[in-house]
Structure 1
Amino acid sequence: MKGLIWFRHDLRLADNPALVALSRRCNEALMVYVIDPEWFRPAHYQSRHLGRFREEFLYQSLRALERELKKRKQRLVVKVGNPLQVIPDLCKKHRIDLVAVTDHPGVYERQQVAYLSRTLSCEVSVSESFSLFLRSQLTFDKASYPQTFSQFRKHVEKQNILPCIPISAPDSLPKHIDERRDIWGGQEFVYDLTPYHGGEDSGMVQLNQFFWKTQGLKNYKETRNGLDGWQFSSRLSAWLANGSISPRIVAAELDNYEYRHGRSDSTQSMYSELLWREYFQWMMHYHGASMFAFEGIKNKRPLTTYYCQNYKAWEQGTTEYPIVNACMRQLNQTGYMSNRGRQIVASCLVNELGVDWRFGAAYFEQQLIDFDVATNYGNWQYLAGVGADPRGQRRFNLEKQTEVYDPDGAFVDKWANAKSSESLLKY
Structure 2
Amino acid sequence: MRKAIYWFRYDLRLHDNPGWSQLVANNDWVIGVYVLPDRWLRPLRYQQKSLGIHRQHFLLESLQQLRQQLRTQGSDLMVVVGDPATALTGLVERWDVSAIATGEYPGSDEQGDVQRLRDKLDIPVRCHENFTLFDRAELPFALADLPLIFSQFRKLVEARPCSMPLPRAPNLRQPVVLEDSPCELDQWLGIMRAQQLVQPADNRRLPFHGGSTAGLAQLQYFLGEHKLISNYKNTRNDLDGWDFSSKLSPWLAMGCLSARQVVRAIKDYEQTHGANESSYWLYFELLWREYFQWLAFRFGKQLFALRGVQNKNPLLSFYPEAFAAWCAGNTGNQFVDAFMRQLAATGWMSNRGRQIVASYLINQLGVDWRYGAAWFEQQLIDYDCAANWGNWQYLAGVGTDPRGRREFNIQKQRDTYDPDGEFIQRWCGN
Question: Aligned-pair distance for 1:8?
Answer: 0.4
Does residue 232 of structure 1 match 2:233? no
SS for the counterpart of 1:90 is helix
- Counterpart amino acid of 2:138? Q
Q: Which runs of 5+ in 2 are unaligned?
A: none
Task: Report which stretch shifted further, 343-352 or 214-223.
Answer: 214-223
Aligned residues: 416
The 5 A counterparts of 1:97-136 are 97-136=98-137
State the Cα deviation string for residues 75-126 of structure 1 (Å, max 9, x = none). Answer: 1111121111011111122211110111111111112222323431112221
The 5 A counterparts of 1:202-221 are 202-221=214-233
Which one of the candidate residues 340, 359, 376 is aligned to 1:364? 376
Residue 175 of structure 1 corresponds to: 175
Distance 1:377 1:75 in 2: 34
Distance 2:218 2:252 in 1: 12
SS for the counterpart of 1:66 is helix
State the Cα deviation string for residues 360-382 of structure 1 (Å, max 9, x = none). Answer: 00000000000000000000001
Structure 2 contact 54–199 (Cα < 8 Å) conserved: no
SS for the counterpart of 1:227 is coil
- Counterpart amino acid of 1:35? L
- Counterpart amino acid of 1:77? M
Distance 1:285 1:177 in 2: 38
Structure 2 contact 140–156 (Cα < 8 Å) conserved: no
Structure 2 contact 239–417 (Cα < 8 Å) conserved: yes
Structure 2 contact 143–294 (Cα < 8 Å) conserved: no
- Counterpart amino acid of 2:160? I
Residue 83 of structure 1 corresponds to: 84
Task: Report which stretch shifted further, 188-197 or 334-343.
Answer: 188-197
SS for the counterpart of 2:300 is helix
Residue 67 of structure 1 corresponds to: 68
Does residue 387 of structure 1 match 2:391? no
Which one of the candidate residues 320, 326, 334 is aligned to 1:322? 334
Question: Aligned-pair distance for 1:140?
Answer: 3.9
State the Cα deviation string for residues 292-330 of structure 1 (Å, max 9, x = none). Answer: 000000000111100111111111111132111110000
Question: Aligned-pair distance for 1:142?
Answer: 5.6
Classify 1:68/1:77 alpha carbon distance in 2 versus 1 (closer, same or farther; 3 Å).
same
Residue 189 of structure 2 corresponds to: 185
State the Cα deviation string for residues 318-367 of structure 1 (Å, max 9, x = none). Answer: 11321111100000111000000000000000000000000000000000
Structure 2 contact 55–347 (Cα < 8 Å) conserved: yes
Residue 164 of structure 2 corresponds to: 165
Question: Aligned-pair distance for 1:177?
Answer: 4.9
Structure 2 contact 40–51 (Cα < 8 Å) conserved: yes
Residue 272 of structure 2 corresponds to: 260
Q: Which runs of 5+ in 1 are unaligned?
A: 419-427
User: How high is the sequence identity, in percent, across the aligned residues?
Assistant: 45
Residue 222 of structure 1 corresponds to: 234
Distance 2:199 2:137 in 1: 45
Q: CA RMSD in A?
A: 1.4
Residue 152 of structure 2 corresponds to: 151
Distance 1:215 1:267 in 2: 10
Structure 2 contact 344–379 (Cα < 8 Å) conserved: yes
Task: Report which stretch shifted further, 330-339 or 37-46.
Answer: 37-46
Distance 2:351 2:330 in 1: 21
- Counterpart amino acid of 1:185? L
TM-score normalised per structure 2: 0.94
Residue 22 of structure 1 corresponds to: 23
State the Cα deviation string for residues 383-427 of structure 1 (Å, max 9, x = none). Answer: 000001111000000011011111111101111137xxxxxxxxx
Residue 197 of structure 1 corresponds to: 209
Task: Report which stretch shifted further, 172-181 or 396-405.
Answer: 172-181
Structure 2 contact 53–199 (Cα < 8 Å) conserved: no
Distance 1:194 1:410 in 2: 17
